[in-house]
Amino acid sequence: QVRLVESGGGSVQAGGSLRLSCTASGLAFGTYAMGWFRQVPGKEREGVSCLNWSGSSPYHPNSVKGRFSISRDNAQSTVYLQMNSLKPEDTAMYYCAANRVYSDCPSSWSGFDYWGQGTQVTVSS
């Protein structure tokens, strides 16, 4: 059974930093592309970071580029999201996900079939 468990969310003031962690079990972690997504109630889920199986090719959309950084430790089956210079608009529930279809990050954000339960990030102004 695949399980993804996120941690590290919390409340922070604008300009602050948080580091999210996601530990996986029940899958060959080192062969999966891993992603971080966020969602605000009433809005569509947004992909904010993706990292290919080896950790050599991170991807971040313009909305977080230069502020967010994704990394992974395949030996620990863990993916991280370092979030710096946080803004109130970064407030959301953050989810990690494993891509069952691709080992590299797909531009379409498709193939993420395994999801964690989410961790809340709240940024106050």
- Chain segment 68-84, per-residue pLDDT in tens: 999 999 999 999 999 99
Task: Point out the least confidently predicted range of 35-44, 62-71, 99-108.
Answer: 99-108
Residues present in the chain in total: 125
CA–CA separation, 47 and 97 (whole Å):
10
**pLDDT on residue 107:** 83
Q: What is the mean pLDDT of the chain?
A: 96
- Residue 39 pairs with which residues in a beta bridge? 93
Would you state the torsion angle of the CA atoms of residues 48, 54, 55, 57, taken in this order, to the nearest 10 degrees? -70
Mean pLDDT, residues 77-96 taken together: 98
CA–CA separation, 106 and 92 (whole Å):
23
Whether residue 89 is predicted with pLDDT greater than 90 in this model: the reply is yes
Residue 3's nearest CA partner among 19, 20, 23 is: 23
What single-letter amino acid sits at 88? P
Question: Over the stretch 22-52, which tens digit does the pLDDT of each residue have?
Answer: 999 999 999 999 999 999 999 999 999 999 9
**pLDDT on residue 108:** 87
- Assign 102 a pLDDT band (cuts: 50, 70, 90): confident
**pLDDT on residue 80:** 98
Whether residue 103 is predicted with pLDDT greater than 90 in this model: the reply is no
